[in-house]
């Protein structure tokens, strides 16, 4: 029987370290870190994420500025808002809630964020530094995934890892992080042939597709570590890409949905922001 990886428990351990860092700053007369969040429109998923971000920031002592702009806001107004935050010495991290309304130029807006405040690791500068192996901000969800795998005590080096999904936010960066940990990595996507066969060879399987309960017992190698990044609503319930109940008996470790990867993303965001001040 597989062991659930408790993302909340791992996040709590990080929370303690961050609270100490912020307490020590305060004891030395220094201000707390500050994150500025920009939301354009009223996407329900983003609103849910912002509430979690704000709550967590309050718990650890980080200032959280929420900036909500109308969905019809001109692009220039968004760029001007980012400019002001870039120049504000009291703002340490800037996050742009995704997705953006379709009429906006996503690449142009992301690129406007100062890479030194890009705590979500989305700008071209941070992406380039990341893939060159230089110090930079790394996308938060991908960082969280690696921390969850490490929390199991298994050694990543030498393992066969399969990543399902090739997004620039999760799939590609988590694949690169696994390579950095000396795993042998295969990325699968919608055009991959014999996907079940490939997945069956994975010691570590990371699914970030957004297809509810797509990963069944047939996909999973005996004793594999399974990380489920998917998040969907099916029959009124939050579920992941993995058919959790069907594969639990076969794996060594697995992340539940909810309570797994999603618990790590906001804490990694705060970690990145604190590192601006180190």
Total domains in the chain come to 2
- Binding site: what residues are annotated? 165-167
Residue 94 domain boundaries: 29-115
* Three-state DSSP state, 257: coil
DSSP class of residue 36 equals E
Q: What's residue 237's pLDDT?
A: 86
pLDDT tens string 111-156: 999 999 999 999 999 999 999 999 999 999 999 999 999 999 999 9
Specify burial of residue 275 (Cβ count, 10 A radius: 0-12, 13-18, 19+): middle
Examine the domain organization and report whether 191 and 243 are in the same domain.
yes
Cβ(225)–Cβ(4) under 8 Å?
A: no
Q: Please check whether residues 165 and 236 belong to one and the same domain.
A: yes
- For the stretch 36-79, pLDDT in tens is 999 999 877 788 888 889 999 999 999 999 999 999 999 999 99
| Mean pLDDT over the full length of the chain | 95
What is d(CA 66, CA 50) in angstroms, rounded to the nearest whole number? 8
pTM score, two decimals? 0.92
In a domain, 19, yes or no: no
Residues making up the binding site for NADP(+): 165-167
Question: Do residue 166 and residue 250 come from a single domain?
Answer: yes
Residue 54 lies in a domain: yes
Q: What is the CA radius of gyration of the chain?
A: 19
Read off the pLDDT of residues 217-238 as tens digits, 9 standing for 90 and up.
999 999 999 999 998 888 888 8
91: CATH: 3.40.50.10860
Tell the burial category of 186 from Cβ atoms under 10 Å away from its Cβ (0-12, 13-18, 19+).
middle
């Amino acid at each position: 029987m597989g062991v659930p990886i408790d993302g909340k428990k791992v996040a709590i351990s990080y929370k303690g370290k961050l609270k100490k860092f912020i307490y020590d700053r305060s004891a030395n007369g220094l201000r707390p870190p500050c994150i500025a969040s920009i939301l354009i429109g009223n996407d329900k998923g983003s609103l849910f994420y912002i509430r979690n971000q704000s709550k967590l920031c309050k718990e650890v002592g980080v200032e959280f500025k929420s900036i909500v702009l109308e969905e019809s806001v001109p692009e220039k107004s968004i760029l001007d808002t980012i400019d002001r935050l870039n120049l504000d010495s009291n703002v340490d991290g800037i996050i742009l809630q995704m997705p953006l309304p379709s009429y906006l130029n996503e690449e142009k807006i992301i690129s406007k964020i100062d890479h030194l405040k890009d705590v979500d690791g989305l700008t071209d500068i941070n992406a380039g530094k990341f893939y060159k192996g230089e110090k930079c901000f790394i996308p938060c969800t991908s960082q969280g995934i690696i921390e969850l795998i490490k929390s199991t005590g298994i050694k990543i080096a030498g393992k066969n890892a399969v990543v399902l999904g090739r997004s620039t936010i999760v799939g590609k960066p988590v694949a690169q992080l696994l390579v950095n940990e000396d795993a042998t990595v295969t990325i699968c996507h919608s055009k991959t042939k014999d996907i079940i066969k490939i997945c069956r060879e994975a010691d570590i399987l990371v699914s970030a597709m957004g297809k509810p309960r797509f990963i069944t017992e047939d996909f999973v190698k005996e004793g594999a570590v399974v990380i489920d990044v998917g998040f969907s609503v099916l029959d009124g319930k939050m579920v992941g890409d993995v058919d959790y109940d069907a594969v639990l008996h076969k794996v060594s470790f697995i992340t539940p949905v909810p309570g797994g990867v999603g618990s790590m993303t906001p804490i990694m965001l705060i970690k990145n922001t604190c590192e601006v001040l180190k």
